Amino acid sequence: MAEVITKNWYVIRAVSGQEAKIKDYIMSEITRLGYADKVEDILVPMEKVVQIRNGKKINKEKVYFPGYIMIKANLTGEIPHIIKSVTNVIGFLGETKGGDPVPLRIAEVNRMLGKVDELTMTTEHIAIPFSRGENVKVIDGPFNGFNGTIEKVNEEKRKLEVMVKIFGRKTPLELSYMQVEKL
C-alpha cells in the first residue's frame, strides 16, 4: 500500500526581487535530487499592475508578497535543508531556531490564494452579473468587508476592477466575480 504523504503550504522567506528565479531553482534542485513527489506546488503570488511609461500603458506582473514564496510540500527529511541551502533563501516563515517550518493554516492559504482559481473554473460560462458603476461589497480576499464601486468589467479575464476606499484613499482592486456581491 502506498504511503499517504500529507502536503502542507509553507512560506519561504527569500531575497526580494529574486522570487521567480529562486522558485525555479528550488524546483530544479528538488527534482534533481529526486524529491519531486514531495513537492506539489511552488507559487510566487503575482498581481497585474498597469504602469504608464512615456504615455503608454504597460501591463506588468508584480510580486504580490515581495520576499515570500509559497510552497505546498511534505517538508520532511532533507527537503527543508535543500530549500534553505538555495542561494537567496532566508528561511521559512514562522520557524523557530532549529525547529521545523510551521505550515500555514488552511484559512491563511485560502486567503492568500484568494480561493479564486478553482471558483473561476466553474463559472466560465455564466454571463457577467455586474455592470460599471454598481456598488458591491468585497466578500473574499484580503479586502473582505470593504465596499466599492465597479470601475471596469473585464470579460476575457472574468475580473472586475473595483474602486475601494482604503485608509481614506481610493484604491483599485482587481477581483473575480466570486469575490464580490451586490449591495
Question: Domains of the chain by range and CATH?
Answer: 8-113 (3.30.70.940), 116-182 (2.30.30.30)
Query: Is the pTM above the cut of 0.75?
Result: no
Q: Which residue has the higher pLDDT, 109 or 23?
A: 23
Residue type at 173 in one-letter notation: L
Mean pLDDT of the chain: 83
Overall average pLDDT of the 59-88 stretch:
89
Residue 111 CA to residue 114 CA, distance in Å, equals: 5
Residue 183 CA to residue 172 CA, distance in Å, equals: 18
At residue 86, the pLDDT reads: 94
Residue 168 CA to residue 182 CA, distance in Å, equals: 22
At residue 101, the pLDDT reads: 85
Q: Is the pLDDT of residue 173 over 70?
A: yes
At residue 40, the pLDDT reads: 93
Helix (H) or strand (E) holding 121: helix 116-122
> In 3-state terms, what secondary structure has residue 64?
coil
Helix (H) or strand (E) holding 62: strand 56-63
At residue 113, the pLDDT reads: 72
Overall average pLDDT of the 64-79 stretch:
90
Model pLDDT for residues 21-65, shown as the tens digit of each residue: 999 999 999 999 999 999 999 998 877 777 777 777 777 777 888
Q: Which residue has the higher pLDDT, 57 or 131?
A: 131
Overall average pLDDT of the 72-90 stretch:
92
At residue 108, the pLDDT reads: 81
Residue type at 110 in one-letter notation: N
